[in-house]
Chain A
Amino acid sequence: MSSQEQKSSQKLAKEPTTETTAMRAVETNLDIRAQESVGKTQGQIVRKRFRQNTGAVVSLIILLLIFLLSITSIGVGPIPGWWRYNYNDMHPIINGAAPNAQHWFGQDATGRDLFAMTMRGIQNTFLVVVLITGIAGFLGVLFGGLAGYYRGWVEAVIMRFTDMIIIIPLMLLTAVLGKLAGSYFTGVWNTVMFGVVVGLLFWSSLARLVRAEFLTLREREFVDAARLAGASDMRIIFKHILPNAIGVVTVSISLMMSSAILTETGLSYLGFGIKAPDWSLGSLISANQSAFATRPWLFWFPGLFILAISLAINFVGDGLRDAFDPRQKKFNPKKAKERTAHSAENGLGIDGSQQASVQVSPWQEQAKSQPASKSSS
């Protein structure tokens, strides 16, 4: 055996202390992360991490499928869909209005087709949610960004204004404004106005988050560098700081979507949002809840769709958070096992008990096999 080999075997033979173990774990972790991100843009890394998260990808596909179903089945505006019934025409009741081959989701008491009504509800819910998050996202980023970047009196004014919006319970103000919107607009414009009005009040929490993010980012070197290079304030805000805050913004907007769904359906349920003859998933439930004992399907289908959409958006949001935040490593269950193994090496499981059934990490096997090779030399 050459001296070089002997040297390396001696090094390996040395019992690892807790400290070296921890250091190595950190190093390998860094290595893995460096390999993962070599030669890639941030967007590519995030997309890759997101794709590895099965739950989030499946949820995204489900969301798209629900959206496509609602669009293609009853069509949009003048464009007809493949479903033969309309959401407000009454038809003779078939099979006691229970779900059947003609009416998949059954019919309501007056013979309207529930499938068409539910699809219409999904379309309206999507429209309102997109409006709410679009407007609230824009305002939240704008106000939060301005307050965080300029500080001083701009921040004071904006944040007091935000406080004012925050202390007014959302339900109360949207109810008042939803009522206003309802008495001045009709048809689809009522739905649009409803979304706009709720969106105008939905931005306060996002503004706080964005402000906090901007407060830390504006002190970073790259901002100083940009300023020294003569960049204007607007350029620094939109080209330098905002791309770095995009993680926070994306995640909170996705979570905002799920609460927007519940707010929209809740307000429509209470009669402040979308009103008959148009339908929202919430107003469908409120119109049919008294018929639960006789016609439960009127209640089940809209409710299940609300649940499915909201759940899927939550999972997508969680996946995005994991993808953007490398500190919360959750994409790779193998890594998690290594971590448990690492703590087990120290003689302690994560619960402090001696853990027997753990996977041994590769380098530890090397260390164990070492005495044998030493004796052979």
Chain B
Amino acid sequence: MLMYSVRRLITAVFILLGASFLVYNLVAIAGNPLEELLVSNSPNKEQLIAQRVEALNLDVPAPVRYFMWLGGILGCFAGQCDFGQNLAGTPVTQLLANAIYQTLTLVLASTILSILIGVSLGIVSALRQYSALDYTVTFASFLFFSLPSFWIAVLLKEFLAIGFNDFLRNPVVTIPTTLLISLIAGIFWYSASFGKQRTRYLMGLVGFLLTAGMIVFVSATQWFLTPFLGIPFMLPLGLGAAVLFTYLVAGLRNRRALGTGLGMVLVGLIAYFPLQGLLAQATLLMVVIILAAFMALGWVLGLLAGGYDRGQGARVGLLTGLAMALLIIADRFMQAWPEYISNSRIKGRPIPTANASTPNLQGDFWVLGIDTMTHILLPTIALTLISLASYSRFSRASMLEIMNQDYIRTARAKGVSERAVVMKHAFRNALIPLATIIAMDIGGIIGGAAITERIFAFKGMGTLFLDSLAHTDPNPVMGVFLVTGLMALIFNLVADLLYSALDPRVRVKA
């Protein structure tokens, strides 16, 4: 395994060298960095040109200049990185650092969301193959897959952002709209449920009533202006999470696991009050620590509860703890919401259509956090829709193949419950090919989403690349390429290693 990794890394270095040489020369052919100066009328034109030639070594032919650039890059191993500078004289390392930060804010949430939603949709539609739900998910996947990102992004801006902002001025939902939305929700629940016809009608009805009730509640309490969760919402949501996680991870017959989950809900509700004072002066680090503490507490509680399979209880506790911590933090964000929308820089229109943050916004951690969230909301929806499709298609195919395997039949034959067959035998194995795909996609994250970034005016990697290319600015282009190429190669290797680690049938050639 080690030998294999080393060999792959050495090959990767050579591939990167070859590719960067190619790209460097292409960029050099693509345009002359002096062009804008040559056509300018400024009096000190000659001096500016000489200055730029000096700064970028333009008097050296491109293939040779590549090696000078490479020398700067290799300096990283000596502790002194030199990626060169852009036309304005800013070091590329600094440009890259900013761009990577913005790209990660933009892409991280959508990657996580699309993996979670896409994989679960794919699994459910595989388990209900040829049902109405399966056909709907398949059609939706194709639809989202075919959506041009620039088109959906503009639609989201026009309808979602502006529509929601207008709606906030008078947040009352009319009765026909309520009925329509609830009807759609009811039909969704009907088609997603299974079993006897009567159960399915019942599920549809429950979905309809629940949605209608929620809309009436939201409308009556002006929830969007003054949102809150509080104990009345956290209790049922927490209980729901505990039961769901117990059902998925351990099965409801495992009473100790269920007890752990319910215990964590109780712990969360009790901790809610003392935490409020602490959260008033929160930092990002503190939020992360609180999340970790809740997860650790759940894990320990599960282990203490014991039983024949302590691991299951521990996992239930961990997941429920995470859910409770997220609920508490969401509640705190909601408390800051009125302050945010009444801010003089927001003026009651909270969903922006461009940029990564509101300029000159003053506020504490929560207000600034909300600001980031509202800004990444639209691009996140656009990116999630687009990448969701491939995950759901892939996990569906993978799950279908696994469900036809002999060992699944064996498991059923020996009387394993359907939950255990799906979650333990099938789902875990279906994740193996998915893991490699996900690893490769994470490698591609850093490249950013050039089109989405441009539409929403994020200054991420894609924008940096496109802008530099438009100004024939060679060094930033090379910087972006180097970072993305390196990440892609590393995660390609990680994907291969992961595959052989997860599936013992696959051996890497040592």
A contacts, CB < 8 Å to B: 18, 160, 163-164, 166-169, 171-173, 175-177, 179-180, 258, 262, 265-266, 269-270, 282, 285-286, 289, 292-293, 299, 303, 306-307, 310-311, 314-315, 318, 328, 330, 333, 336, 348-353, 355-357
Contacts and interface: CB of A to CB of B under 8 A. Distances in A.
Contacts of B485: 167-169
Contacts of B172: none
B412 interface: yes
Contacts of B145: 258, 310, 314
A180 B472 CA distance: 12
A176 B127 contact: no
B196 interface: yes
B501 interface: no
A306 B148 CA distance: 7
B484 A266 contact: no
Interface of B: 11, 14-16, 18-19, 22-23, 26-27, 29-31, 127-130, 142-143, 145-151, 154, 158, 194-197, 400, 412-413, 417-419, 421, 444, 447, 450-451, 454, 462, 465-466, 469, 477, 480-481, 484-485, 488-489, 492
B151 A164 contact: no
Given A167-B489, A169-B447, A292 B154 contact: yes
B413 A356 contact: no
24 contacts: A160-B14, A163-B15, A164-B18, A167-B485, A168-B22, A169-B481, A171-B462, A175-B465, A176-B30, A177-B26, A179-B469, A180-B26, A258-B146, A262-B146, A262-B148, A266-B148, A285-B150, A286-B150, A306-B146, A306-B148, A310-B146, A333-B130, A336-B129, A357-B197
Q: Main secondary structure on chain B at its contact with chain A?
A: helix
- Of B15, B400, B421, most buried by chain A (CB within 10 Å of CB) is B15
A285 B418 CA distance: 50
B484 A311 contact: no
A353 B447 contact: no
Contacts of A177: 26
Nearest to A314: B142
A325 to B, nearest CB: 11
Contacts of A353: 194-195, 418
Contacts of A175: 465-466, 469
Given A168-B19, A333-B130, 11 more contacts: A160-B15, A171-B462, A176-B30, A258-B145, A266-B451, A270-B450, A282-B150, A285-B150, A307-B146, A336-B129, A350-B128
A173 B18 contact: no
Contact of B488 (A169, A282, A289, A310): A169
B372 to A, nearest CB: 25
Given A167-B16, A175-B469, A352-B418, A282 B158 contact: no
Contact of A164 (B15, B150, B413, B418): B15
Contacts of B19: 164, 167-168
Given A266-B451, A311-B142, A311-B146, A176 B417 contact: no
A166 B19 CA distance: 10
Contacts of A265: 148, 150
A270 B154 contact: no
Contacts of B195: 349, 351, 353, 355
Given A258-B146, A352-B418, A169 B413 contact: no
B29 to A, nearest CB: 6
A307 B151 contact: yes
A351 B123 CA distance: 13
A282 to B, nearest CB: 7
Given A18-B413, A172-B465, A351-B194, A167 B142 contact: no
Given A160-B11, A269-B451, A293 B158 contact: yes
Contacts of B130: 330, 333, 336
A299 B150 CA distance: 11
Contacts of B447: 169, 171-172
Q: Main secondary structure on chain A at its contact with chain B?
A: helix
A180 B29 contact: yes
Nearest to B420: A352
B161 to A, nearest CB: 12
Nearest to B412: A348
A29 to B, nearest CB: 12
Nearest to A165: B19
Nearest to A179: B30
A270 to B, nearest CB: 6
A170 to B, nearest CB: 10
A330 B196 CA distance: 24
A177 B23 CA distance: 10
B154 A299 contact: yes
A176 B421 CA distance: 50
Contact of A168 (B23, B29, B413, B466): B23
A285 B151 contact: yes
A352 B147 contact: no
Contacts of A163: 11, 15
Contacts of A169: 444, 447, 481, 484-485, 488
A249 to B, nearest CB: 19
B127 A350 contact: yes
Given A167-B15, A333-B130, A356-B196, A266 B146 contact: no
A349 B131 CA distance: 13
B419 to A, nearest CB: 8
Contacts of A269: 148, 150, 451
B106 to A, nearest CB: 15
Given A175-B466, A265-B148, A180 B480 contact: no
A303 B158 contact: no
B493 to A, nearest CB: 11
A313 to B, nearest CB: 8
A357 B196 contact: yes
A293 B163 CA distance: 13
Contacts of A167: 15-16, 19, 485, 488-489, 492
Contacts of B480: 172
B100 to A, nearest CB: 15
B449 to A, nearest CB: 9
A351 B149 CA distance: 37
B370 to A, nearest CB: 27
B150 A352 contact: no
Contacts of A168: 19, 22-23, 481, 485
B158 A270 contact: no
Given A270-B451, A336-B129, A179 B31 contact: yes
Contacts of A262: 146, 148
Contacts of B151: 285, 299, 303, 306-307
Nearest to A262: B148
Contact of B147 (A176, A307, A328, A355): A307
Contact of A270 (B26, B129, B412, B454): B454
Given A270-B450, A351-B195, A303 B148 contact: yes
Nearest to B31: A179
A311 B141 CA distance: 10
